[in-house]
Amino acid sequence: MTTDAADAAARTAVVWVPDWPVLAALTAAGLTPDRPAAVHDHHGILAASALARAQGVRRGMRRRQAQQACPELVLLAADDVRDVREFEPVAAAAETVVAGLEVARPGLLLLPADGPARYHGSEVGLAEALAGAVAQRTGHECHVGVADGILAAVLAAREQRVVPRGEARAFTDPRPLGDLRHAATVPGSAADVADLVDLWGRLGLRTFADLRALPAPDVETRFGVLGTWAHRLARGEDLRPAARRRIEPDLAVGRELDPPAERVDTAAFVARSLAEELYELLVRRGVTCGRLRIEARAVDPVDGTPTELVRAWRCDDEAIGGLSAARLTDRVRWQLEGWLTSAALGRGDRPAPIVFLGLTAEEVVRAGAHQGGLWGASSGQDARARRALERVQGLLGGEQVLGVRLQGGRDARERVQVAPWGDAAPPARPADRPWPGALPAPSPASVLAEPVAVVLLDPRREPVGVDARGGLDAPPAFLVRPAATSARGRPVERREHAVHQWAGPWVLDERWWSPTARRGAWLQVVLDDGRAALLAGTPTADAGAGAPAGASDGGTTSWRLEALYD
């Protein structure tokens, strides 16, 4: 006896928040959703709100086309990290109704429906409870659908309906294959799905019924992994059931230090004891953590003023085998060295003693929940590299091994933040905030450690500057690096390159009201050897009040080589 695939598919509920990338961007920017808005990257529009779509804005449009269709359109930059972060309150709200769920992608939640539906009386009652919890706790409107299998449930959520058991195939068969894009969960896969659907359309395949009628081996041979995925969904087979996300509380240990610790070795002894206690808690519960938060309280030795110290460190491995009491102790010891040797914690040469030390395991998950890949980033190379860097940190100290990460800013140099390896503290300037006047994408591939002074010349070999209107006073033709002496005392030869192409300048007049005001301009040039460079220009004399940043009216512009493009 055989069982129909659609009948055997798990009963699945889906929570879908329409236009989530736009809602997340508006929320992060502090804007209300009553304005037409769209999310874009450097290729075009990725998502648009209902108000924007009503005025003709469509996915795939160029930004200028979208602004022409809707002049009051609010354009917001795409950010996958922001979408995930802002969606967490929605997932938490849904978890007040159902104890386990899976985030398929930001804006889409999957959860098993059988047990929760029995608890809430019916599948309709479950849908109402989920929609009510999300609206009450987050203020976002969501659609809920229930059906046999993931594909049918996703499509049902878009219509806010419950598909009766056993009727999923009749629900999906007449639908166009273009609806496959709604079930795509891997970032960047929507374009691949659209290309595959377009190919099937040229071959005469229009609906899910047409695709389901093809033999599975032929689909796999001709269309590969993506075709097999679509064919299985069309047949009503789930690749896997919705995974339950178990909420694990943070684990914390702490101790008052009496007498207070003024030396690193004294505090490290207590840290080792706390690390072993925390690790034992993790092992006993069968969990691991993604971050270790270190908390300390120091008291000024002169006036007794308390100082709260908090620092978070990223724990590298995805399984409990990569985490040990010794490695936790190392992280705490490195942090204590930084705190106890910081002059800011005490007066004069005497450090502020630490009277309390606490450790908290954050982002707690079940041990072994991560399945490593056979190749790529999760195959072990990254973990081995992290362990090697941590061994170097153990020899040199936590502050001696540095890493770079992206932060907010307007030019290429200030967008790079250097921080101790493993430090999970947020950047000084959030990268997901709008930065008006920032250097346009793409960003340079290499930012020089120290800018190099250069001379920019026009075809008559006269210096090129920025005029009062914020443009170049002459087209650049030559880039010259004068002869100089390096920091090590070695002579540097004079070099000259012809400028084949250029773009800009982008003027900057930042914080003009403050003592930290900055004025300048950026210029992109393509040299005769094929390299592309970013130049920064600053006025060498005051250009006068009201003149654009970098203007050379009344002075000249000095240029520096800041970065290189691939």
* Digit-coded pLDDT (tens) for 276-287: 888 888 888 877
Average pLDDT, the chain: 76
- Range among 185-199, 277-291, 437-451 with highest mean pLDDT value: 277-291
Quote the CA–CA distance of 483 and 493 in Å, as a whole number: 5
The torsion angles phi and psi of 532, rounded to 5 degrees, stand at: -110, 135
**pLDDT score, position 59:** 83
pTM: 0.48
Residue pLDDT, tens place only, 321-335: 456 777 777 777 767
Quote the CA–CA distance of 491 and 485 in Å, as a whole number: 4
Tell me the pLDDT band of 222, cut-offs 50, 70 and 90: confident
272 pLDDT above the threshold of 60:
yes
Tell me the pLDDT band of 542, cut-offs 50, 70 and 90: very low
480 pLDDT above the threshold of 80:
yes
**pLDDT score, position 277:** 87
**pLDDT score, position 115:** 83
What number of CA atoms fall less than 13 Å from residue 181's CA on the CB side? 13
Q: Comparing 431 with 70, which gets the higher pLDDT?
A: 70
| Poorest-pLDDT segment among 220-234, 478-492, 539-553 | 539-553
527 pLDDT above the threshold of 70:
yes
Question: What does the pLDDT average to over 456-469?
Answer: 83
Question: What does the pLDDT average to over 217-225?
Answer: 84
**pLDDT score, position 448:** 78
Tell me the percentage of the chain whose pLDDT exceeds 70. Answer: 77
Helix (H), strand (E), coil (C) string for 1-64: CCCCHHHHCCEEEEEECCCHHHHHHHHHHCCCCCCCEEEECCCCEEEECHHHHHCCCCCCCCHH
**pLDDT score, position 143:** 92
The torsion angles phi and psi of 471, rounded to 5 degrees, stand at: -115, 175
Count of residues making up the chain:
566
Amino acid identity of residue 115, one-letter, is: G
Quote the CA–CA distance of 345 and 351 in Å, as a whole number: 6
In DSSP notation, 442-489 reads SPPSEEEEEEEEEEEE-TTSPBP-B-TTSSBSS---EEEE--EE-TTS
Residue of 249, 243, 291, 297 lying closest to 270 (CA atoms)? 297
Question: What does the pLDDT average to over 302-309?
Answer: 75
Instruction: Say how many C-beta atoms besides its own lie within 10 A of residue 31's C-beta.
Output: 13
Alpha-helical segments (H) within 306-369: 325-340
Tell me the pLDDT band of 426, cut-offs 50, 70 and 90: low
Question: What does the pLDDT average to over 323-352?
Answer: 64
Question: What does the pLDDT average to over 124-139?
Answer: 89
**pLDDT score, position 317:** 46
**What is the radius of gyration, based on Cα positions, of the chain?**
29
| Poorest-pLDDT segment among 242-246, 426-430, 496-500 | 242-246
Q: Token pair for residue 344?
A: 């800011």
516 pLDDT above the threshold of 80:
no
Tell me the percentage of the chain whose pLDDT exceeds 90. Answer: 0
Question: What does the pLDDT average to over 257-270?
Answer: 78
Amino acid identity of residue 385, one-letter, is: A
Beta bridge partners of 559: 454, 537
Q: Rounded to whole angstroms, what are the CA distances from 19 to 25, 29, 102, 140? A: 10, 16, 19, 11
66 pLDDT above the threshold of 80:
yes
Residue pLDDT, tens place only, 143-182: 999 988 888 888 998 888 898 988 888 888 898 988 888 8
246 pLDDT above the threshold of 60:
no
107 pLDDT above the threshold of 50:
yes
| Poorest-pLDDT segment among 198-212, 293-307, 447-461 | 293-307
Quote the CA–CA distance of 29 and 39 in Å, as a whole number: 12
Contacts of residue 94, defined as CB under 8 A and 6 or more positions apart, other chains included, come to: 15, 101, 109, 111, 130, 133, 134
| Secondary structure letter of residue 343 according to DSSP | G
